[in-house]
Structure 1
């Protein structure tokens, strides 16, 4: 093979390699843009191995009466008037969470969300809420999310913790709720919560 032929072949191969490299790069980037999901390295999202189990204990104050209610009925279905369980009714809440059972005790957060009567036959709420923590050291600004069934007349109700933010990112666990006080005239309630969460 002559030197000229070799140079032409080398030039052709170089152009071909550049073209293939460009094609692979373009194909790779368009594929990643079209993919539904991709795996990320743990470092990219600062994920550490789950190693902390926290136990939180507080009181939830659901206040439906007075000048400053923290829970307000937002839906009352037509059939609710004829329903013993008030099926279909829905309440929006921003309830204080305190260290002790008295409303005047130290505030540690707010329970913000919705509870709805989701059972025709018994009093069982669908709970969709966040425990938003304030002024409690490392937990300040962090939240835990609850999504579950609350069978109100049971002595202890268990609901799942399905996630969280801040120090509770990727959290999982459960919350145990127990009635502490209830006023049937006003509907006001104080509920003791014991929450166990891995994060």
Structure 2
């Protein structure tokens, strides 16, 4: 009889596990979430990374013991809240902010790990975000970083962002970077 009881407990636990699996996850249709046809959008804007002056938009928040002796600043971590504008001039119309961090992650070249959200504040994208996570080799003519997600209009987003340095002040470290972002979304 004890064998039958053990078998019954085993069968009951399998059934209970199956029920909790179904409760934990389920398949949905796009229609159920209100998703319509997927589209491809191209966004173009300028990113203003200001590290100098009285009101910087990017500040170093951490560094390693070797950072200041490294030719690439290896180990530096910078927090940013950079304006995004329609033209390269900071005085042009602002369409959002680039908020996140970049860290010097390469010892042999100037290469940043970028973890940021493009938080849009204008037009049909107002209140929506695109999330970027990737490698930015600053002195390459064109850098490509993946768009890994988004929110609002950009829910379920995927794509890539191309960055090109428009202007760089080697003395201050301030830069203006042109972005072309290609993103699939619903």
TM-score (norm 2): 0.86
- Secondary structure (helix, strand or coil) at the match of 1:84 reads coil
**CA distance, structure 2, for counterparts of residue 89 and residue 44 of structure 1:** 45
1:61 aligns with 2:51: no
Q: 2:30 aligns with which of 26, 29, 42?
A: 42
Indicate the residue corresponding to 2:119 in structure 1. Answer: 132
Structure 1's unaligned 5+ residue stretches are 1-22
> How many residues in Structure 1 have an aligned counterpart in Structure 2?
171
1:156 aligns with 2:146: no
What are the residue-to-residue correspondences of 1:180-199 with 2, within 5 Å?
180-199=166-185
Kindly state the Cα deviation for residue 31 of structure 1 after the two structures are TM-superposed.
4.5
**CA distance, structure 1, for counterparts of residue 55 and residue 68 of structure 2:** 25
**CA distance, structure 2, for counterparts of residue 187 and residue 168 of structure 1:** 32
Indicate the residue corresponding to 2:104 in structure 1. Answer: 117
1:99 aligns with 2:83: no
**CA distance, structure 1, for counterparts of residue 20 and residue 149 of structure 2:** 32
Q: CA RMSD in A?
A: 1.7
- Secondary structure (helix, strand or coil) at the match of 2:66 reads helix
From the CA coordinates, give the structure whose radius of gyration is larger. Answer: 1
Structure 2's unaligned 5+ residue stretches are 1-11
Q: Which has the higher strand share?
A: 2
**CA distance, structure 2, for counterparts of residue 180 and residue 122 of structure 1:** 20
Q: Which has the higher helix share?
A: 1
**CA distance, structure 1, for counterparts of residue 84 and residue 20 of structure 2:** 49
**CA distance, structure 1, for counterparts of residue 140 and residue 158 of structure 2:** 23
Q: For residues 77 and 169 of structure 1, do their structure 2 counterparts lie closer, same or farther at Cα, with a shift above 3 Å needed?
A: same
